[in-house]
Amino acid sequence: MEPTDEQVVRTAAEAAEGLIFSRYSRSDVDDLDVTVRFEDGVLEIDVYLNAGEESEQVAEDAVRAAESAVDELFEESES
């Protein structure tokens, strides 16, 4: 059974936030916005992170982690 749109969005958002908070403590994050859209089979992930140095790289890593988590979700649903 294929995951619902809500499951896809939740999985992506949790993966992105999980990666960010594995690298920064919550008190180090000045601003965070994770936006995930999944419509008509198209996944869009935007991560804005303000946490000092390396924020841009960590935001990019968070997007990749979210995409990977969604890929795994679909792979599991096919088994």
Considering only residues 52 and 74, tell me which one the structure prediction assigns the higher pLDDT. 74
What distance in Å separates the CA atoms of residue 76 and residue 74, rounded to the nearest whole number? Answer: 5
Considering only residues 1 and 59, tell me which one the structure prediction assigns the higher pLDDT. 59
What CATH number labels 5-78? 3.30.300.100
Average pLDDT on 3-14 reads 97
The structural domains of the chain, with segments of one domain joined by +, span: 5-78
Residue range 40-59, pLDDT digits in tens = 999 999 999 999 889 999 99
What distance in Å separates the CA atoms of residue 72 and residue 5, rounded to the nearest whole number? Answer: 15
Question: What is the pTM (predicted TM-score) of this model?
Answer: 0.94
What distance in Å separates the CA atoms of residue 11 and residue 45, rounded to the nearest whole number? Answer: 11
Residue range 9-24, pLDDT digits in tens = 999 999 999 999 999 9
